[in-house]
Amino acid sequence: MYLVLAMMLAAMVVSGILSENALRSIQIERRMPPEAWAKRSFPVQYVLMNPKRILPSYSLRVQEKGVRSAGEAFVLKLAAGERRTAEGNFIAERRGPLKFTEARILTQFPFGLFEKTKLVDISDQLIVFPSPVYSDVEAKGNVERGSEESGISRGEGVSLFGLRDYRDGDNPRRIHWKVSARAGKLILKETESMDLPMITVVLDTAGYRPGRDDDALEEAVSICAGIAEGYIKKGYMVRLITNGGELPYGAGLAHLRAILTALALFEPKPGAYATSVLRHGEAHVVVEGWKN
């Protein structure tokens, strides 16, 4: 019995020493995804580095403080001097800014008796888009502004169509100075034609009551995201109006990201109206962010 007790105590000591060594000097770098949606899992990459000259590290897991995990990043073996990339999955409970403040590296090597943790302060922030809800809400007013058959072409518009070399006679106001500086020559930016159907999506939260209408607000934001995505994919120029401001007409995936970002950061102002800025007869979709 004394021999078994001594072996168990020795195993505990050895386990503590080896697990401590596995985490010692380990470095970590977080790589955020370009986009994420509420209530959907999204990946985050981690680059783990072992600067030790001889000893490897085993069974490393990565967790995040305050962020719901859908699958931990795991590295079975990290050799001395090695860099390895692992991917974890997380779920954002709601739209808006999601802060990553502290990564945790854990190991139960070698016997699984204890779990050692190393805390690493690395701050990042991700804008979580609202998950689009595709509604059968129909637009009111004159939807057919321009031909619905028309595609995107270069012209006098607002969204970027492409880049080309500057030619004599071109409007110097269209010179893309940052790209020109990198390229060492004058580069002109071309915009999309305005010959596209246009529509305005309105998020009306004038009747919103904090606490009581929170679910209705989130549903309305998601419906606006779905409507905007649907019309942009059909080739429309889409404008977003809320009681906090306006996002001008635009088309294409870059403009869709701008709309989703605006909806992700939207905070209602009770009593402020959004519909009053609509022009008479303008094609629009109004989504109410409160309960009837």
Instruction: Determine if the peptide bond prior to 43 is cis (ω within 30°).
Output: no
Per CATH, which fold does 25-129 belong to?
Answer: Immunoglobulin-like (2.60.40)
Digits of tens for pLDDT over the chain (292 positions)?
A: 989 888 877 777 777 777 788 898 999 999 999 999 999 999 999 999 999 999 899 999 999 999 999 999 999 999 999 999 999 999 999 999 999 999 999 998 887 777 889 999 999 999 999 999 987 666 666 544 333 333 444 444 444 556 767 766 666 777 878 878 877 888 877 665 445 788 999 998 888 888 888 899 999 999 999 999 999 998 888 999 988 788 888 888 889 999 999 999 999 876 666 665 666 566 778 887 777 6
Report pLDDT for 130: 96
CB-based contact 140:275 (threshold 8 Å)? no
Q: Which residue ranges make up each domain of the chain?
A: 25-129, 131-151+196-292, 154-195
Q: Which residue has the tokens 């990459």?
A: 45
CB-based contact 231:252 (threshold 8 Å)? no
Where are the strands (E) in the chain, listed by range? 27-31, 36-37, 41-49, 57-64, 68-71, 73-78, 83-91, 96-107, 116-129, 154-165, 187-192, 198-204, 237-242, 245-250, 284-288
Alpha helices in the chain (DSSP H): 2-23, 177-183, 214-233, 252-264
Report pLDDT for 50: 95
Report pLDDT for 154: 44
